[in-house]
Structure 1
Amino acid sequence: MERRKLLNAFLATASLPAALTLTNAATAHASTLEAAGTTTKALERLRTTLDRIASDHMTPHCNPTDLTSRALAAWRDATALTRTRHDNIARVAQAHAAGLLAGFHTDAGNSYEAAAWFRHAFRASPDTDTSAWVRACATWAPLYRGDHERSIACAESAAGLASRRTPTGAFAYDQLARARAAAGDHAGARTALGTAENALVTTRDEADAPPSLIHYTHRQHATYAADTCARIGDTDIARAWLGAVRSTEHNAMNRALADLTEAECFHRDGRTDEAASYARACLQSVSPEHRNDVITGRARELATLFRDTADTASTRELRDYAATYSAAA
């Protein structure tokens, strides 16, 4: 018994430094877990914020200035999290925030700022799906500027990275279809559009989610498919897609773009005078706060197309109106 007491006393004394070390390690580990839990909660809040911003952009009365301010705050939060978390989740959030900012600046016609934010998004992208999403977003500006070579290059890069069995793959191939259609490559546009549709069929559950700039859905596909089909002259198919768009679309910009797609359908059907009148009426119906460079670019593209086809009073009026559209009352 005495021997056991002595042994226990010796072990207690001998193991004191080790016990202190273990206690310190346990405390440090607990602090690490607490910090990790804090950053995980912060990341969850950030992802929720980004999803809300991306969804709010699709609502009827979104405020572009407010969205840009919120996206900038989200990007700062994401950047801070990348310094404390060494995984890809925070970097994906950072890339999404930068991509949203690039898109908002594209809408506003701030090409320099948009390009800078796209560079941030490219650098932050930690995986091929996020990189594909960023590159697909980057097709918008050159497409509406009429820079076909650049828009096709961006879209092909996105399509090359994206899996054909994901919503991002559908997004990338939809942008490729639009870019090819705008450049006059009708066969290539149809091929890309078919690939986009197949991608959404294989990911139906995800694609049926609420519309968002980050998570590609059937509603966005309908908008882009209508645009592609109108550009290549498949007007009956385009109008079928437009029916789906109008039954679900509430965003002012997207509804205006759908109306301009309808105008192109009139033109492709040989009713250019009617197309010009319809397009002008559509532009006039958009409230000034929702007029942006995307709508203006599309309007000017159509005005040039219609004017080159038929030199009439209606096409000249559309051309003159579109030339000063952003400032029009």
Structure 2
Amino acid sequence: MAREHGVSFYRNGEAAGMKPERVAKVARGEATVTTLDAIERIADALRIPGAFLGLAARPWEHSSPRTHPEADDGDDPMNRRQVLRGTLAASLTTTALTALTETSQSLDLALTADMAPADLSDLEAAAEAYGYGYHGQAPTRFLTGLASDFAELRPHLDSPQPVAARIRVCRTAGQMAGMIAIVLHDLGTRKEARKWFATASKAAQESGDRQLHAWVLAREAMVPINYGAPQAAALLAEQARQVAGNRPTAAATLAAAVAARAYALAHQPDQAREAVTAADTLIERLDAGTRADTWLTHSEQKHHVHLSHALTALGDTRRARASQQRALKLSSQTSTMTRSLLSIDAATCTHRDGDTEEACRRVVSVLTALPDAFRSGLVHHRATDLYHSIPVRHHDERAVRELRDVLAA
């Protein structure tokens, strides 16, 4: 049953406090569970009624009153079936009505057990709303609301949940934790971002949602990309590609685009171009919903933001500029940070084409026009990358000195 419904040994083990290897052996009949404590723990974790395992009714079970001795074993599906067949075949007696009532109550309880608390739906809606990004909010203010809503998931994780509800809780936790990590990354808090990506990855794995797990890994790969470790980024991006598989999904497309950036920065042009081609092929096959402009999907606009960086790093300034222009044209609501990064990529293209003075002026203009909340973190790091790419012999030139001073400030 677990396999049929996509419930992994890992998730069963986590719920019941057992190692996944032990769960697998029990499932295959290679080991047995014999201690009363373990049996009770499994029953409570997986919401198995006590009668199914020879136990008394568990504390969380809602036992219904029994009005006839023949219904004492009514919780046993086989006994209930025999009672129904026997009594209904004879006549509509009190025994038959009692058996029907208990059957109805049992079904009602089973249906209720599969229903998640109402506020979980609200938190799922909140996660979807946060996925639309900053929308002009300062990252710190955005983070405050997101972290506050994430904290409300904790009670759902602490209390026993039906499997279907726990899957929803873990999926929402994975999405929110991943978005918290994205904001921390944008703000330049690299170590904290990595911790939150680890939390998001664990939640995604427990939910069984491979595409969410791949999305988390691909987003995490962007941390070492932007902080000077492209080889580590390439490893994460390739892991994301493997988890996502070959189907045209948002996660698979993002993973390929991020891999292209990582390989370009690591001076592996062949691998970078292969990843660019794969990303372009995948995005052409995405459906309209998957191409929506959110953090959890993969829009064409964001696709070109990634390609802008990859192609700029490859030195393909013609195609990089085309991606920059396309990204800006596709959305009139492009975030302040995204516009800034595209402008710095454009300036880097200008530097690569030989006009370093103009490139420095453009980056200085971008940085000085930004609000304080946007001048640190990712934007600062991307501008610093441009400065470091300028040969030392040019560092005494006025425009280069101005860029250095703005970065230092």
Q: Smaller-chain TM-score range?
A: 0.7 to 0.9
Report if aligned partners of 1:200, 1:207 keep a CA contact under 8 Å in 2. Answer: no
Decide which of 92, 108, 133 is 1:56's aligned counterpart.
133
CA distance in 1: counterparts of 2:115 and 2:290, whole angstroms: 31
The answer to whether 1:66 aligns with 2:141 is: yes
Gaps of 5+ in 2: 1-86
- Equivalences for 1:80-229 in 2 at 5 Å? 80-81=155-156, 83-87=160-164, 88-125=167-204, 126-164=208-246, 165-209=248-292, 211-229=293-311
**SS of residue matched to 1:215:** coil
Which of the pair has more CA radius of gyration? 2
More helix by share: 1
Worse overlay, 103-112 or 275-284: 103-112
Amino acid across the alignment from 1:292: S
Decide which of 322, 333, 345 is 1:261's aligned counterpart.
345
The answer to whether 1:243 aligns with 2:325 is: yes
Post-superposition CA distance 1:40-69 (Å, at most 9, x none): x54443222111111032x2x123233223
Q: What is the alpha-carbon root mean square deviation over aligned residues?
A: 2.5
CA distance in 2: counterparts of 1:278 and 1:136, whole angstroms: 30
CA distance in 1: counterparts of 2:393 and 2:334, whole angstroms: 32
Partner of residue 6, structure 2 = none
Deviation at 1:84, TM superposition (A): 2.1
Amino acid across the alignment from 1:92: R
Deviation at 1:319, TM superposition (A): 2.3
Deviation at 1:268, TM superposition (A): 1.2
From the superposition, tell whether residues 190 and 30 of structure 1 become closer, same or farther in structure 2 (CA, over 3 Å).
Answer: same
Report if aligned partners of 1:260, 1:279 keep a CA contact under 8 Å in 2. Answer: yes
The answer to whether 1:322 aligns with 2:407 is: yes
Report if aligned partners of 1:219, 1:245 keep a CA contact under 8 Å in 2. Answer: yes
Amino acid across the alignment from 1:33: L
Deviation at 1:212, TM superposition (A): 0.9
CA distance in 1: counterparts of 2:162 and 2:187, whole angstroms: 33
The answer to whether 1:272 aligns with 2:350 is: no
Fraction of identical pairs, as percent = 24
Report if aligned partners of 1:307, 1:316 keep a CA contact under 8 Å in 2. Answer: no
Gaps of 5+ in 1: 1-6, 325-329
| Higher RCO, 1 vs 2 (CA within 8 Å, ≥6 residues apart) | 1
Partner of residue 3, structure 1 = none
Post-superposition CA distance 1:73-123 (Å, at most 9, x none): 443344444542413333221111111111111122223322221111111
Partner of residue 150, structure 2 = 75
Report if aligned partners of 1:256, 1:295 keep a CA contact under 8 Å in 2. Answer: yes
CA distance in 2: counterparts of 1:319 and 1:143, whole angstroms: 22
Amino acid across the alignment from 1:51: E
Partner of residue 59, structure 2 = none
CA distance in 1: counterparts of 2:249 and 2:237, whole angstroms: 16
The answer to whether 1:285 aligns with 2:333 is: no
CA distance in 1: counterparts of 2:242 and 2:353, whole angstroms: 34
Deviation at 1:177, TM superposition (A): 0.6
From the superposition, tell whether residues 193 and 176 of structure 1 become closer, same or farther in structure 2 (CA, over 3 Å).
Answer: same
Amino acid across the alignment from 1:316: R
